[in-house]
Structure 1
Amino acid sequence: MTTAPCVVAALTVADAGEALTVQYAAYLSEGRRYGTTGIPPLRETVAELAADLERADVRAFGAWAGVRLVGSVRLRGERVGTGSGCAELARFSVAPDVQGHGIGRALMERAHAELATGDVTWLVTGARSEENLRLYRRAGYEETGRLSDAAGVELLRLERLAP
């Protein structure tokens, strides 16, 4: 697999609209898989995303291929980087036309670089989202529970202890 050339850098409030476009495109296939557009990433607004980016406990990263934003991820949590922090890896999105080329892996590695040994990251993903599950398991995430979202989609909670 060839890694698409991209630059991963901090995502800012000015990027909120473009990030939401990528998020919608990425999560639309998830909505189709589960037969609903009611999943939270498809219901988020630009204002909500921008507010999230302004939070002191959120670190957000985008992947750019030239001037185009092709992916993003948010790391939400306090005391991250201390070895006793806990953070959610959230709204992990890669544009559908560039999935499978290492962009998601690059975003995840950048988010993980914020962590200290002993920090825990967690995420949720659809129980039937096999491509996502393969990526997360390769990165060291293990299932710790099951739940349902507001749309009734069965989710897996996965966690990873930073080495």
Structure 2
Amino acid sequence: MGMSVTISAAAAEDAEQILKLQYLAFQREAELYGNYLIQPLTQSLDSLKAELAADTVLVARLGGEVVGTVRGNVDGDGTGRIAKLCVHPRLQGHGLGARLLRAVEEALAGHDGTVRFRLHSGHRSESNLRLYRKAGYLAVGGRTASDGVQLVILEKDAKDPTEFAVSA
């Protein structure tokens, strides 16, 4: 009767679905801040395609529909940078965001030299901040994004990927 959601690497042909999902999922954030110029809403398809080619981009699928996505990369100092975690509004609150977060952490931990994970969220985004705290992230600072939104920067130490399977 019901289908299960699967998480896998995104393919180039997923770009348009990812961009549409991102636009839909970040509407609530834009409303929360009264700012519809936040980066996830203004990102171009070409910019997203470049991220697909260069970064780790995962998608959650329900049948053929992309219902969640997250991306990340590991920088030169061993920081796994995680960005644009989003879940279709109709599926939020069912643990899919946490599954995507664990999956991208596991993928980034597979890179040589990954020592920590870092991500950010708007300071008013309580549900996002709650998810990240529950996943072991701690606030380590803040900054103002180019769109004017106050961001909370969160980090946690990278762990052995086998630990992710145990906590899943």
TM-score above 0.5, yes or no: yes
1:129 to 2:131 alignment: no
Contact persistence 1:88–1:121 (CA under 8 A):
yes
SS in 2 for 1:113: helix
Q: Tell me what 1:147 maps to.
A: 143
Which structure carries more helix by proportion?
A: 2
Contact persistence 1:38–1:150 (CA under 8 A):
no
Unaligned runs of 5+ in 2: 160-168
How far apart are the structure 1 equivalents of 2:114 and 2:10?
25
Residue 66 (structure 1) aligned to one of 63, 67, 71: 63
Structure possessing the higher relative contact order (Cα contacts under 8 Å, 6 or more residues apart): 1
> How far off is 1:118 after superposition?
5.9
Percent identity of paired positions between Structure 1 and Structure 2: 34
Unaligned runs of 5+ in 1: none
Q: Tell me what 2:30 maps to.
A: 31
Residue 72 (structure 2) aligned to one of 71, 75, 78: 75
Structure 2 letter corresponding to 1:152: G
How far apart are the structure 2 equivalents of 1:135 and 1:5?
22
How far apart are the structure 2 equivalents of 1:12 and 1:161?
29
Could you list the structure 1 runs, at least 4 aligned residues long, displaced by more than 3 angstroms after superposition. Answer: none
> How many pairs align?
154
TM-score by length of 2: 0.86
**CA offsets per residue over residues 64-98 of structure 1, 9 Å max, x none?**
0111110000012246xxxx721110111111111
**CA offsets per residue over residues 11-48 of structure 1, 9 Å max, x none?**
12210110011111111110000001111111101110
How far apart are the structure 1 equivalents of 2:74 and 2:158?
14
Structure 2 letter corresponding to 1:108: L
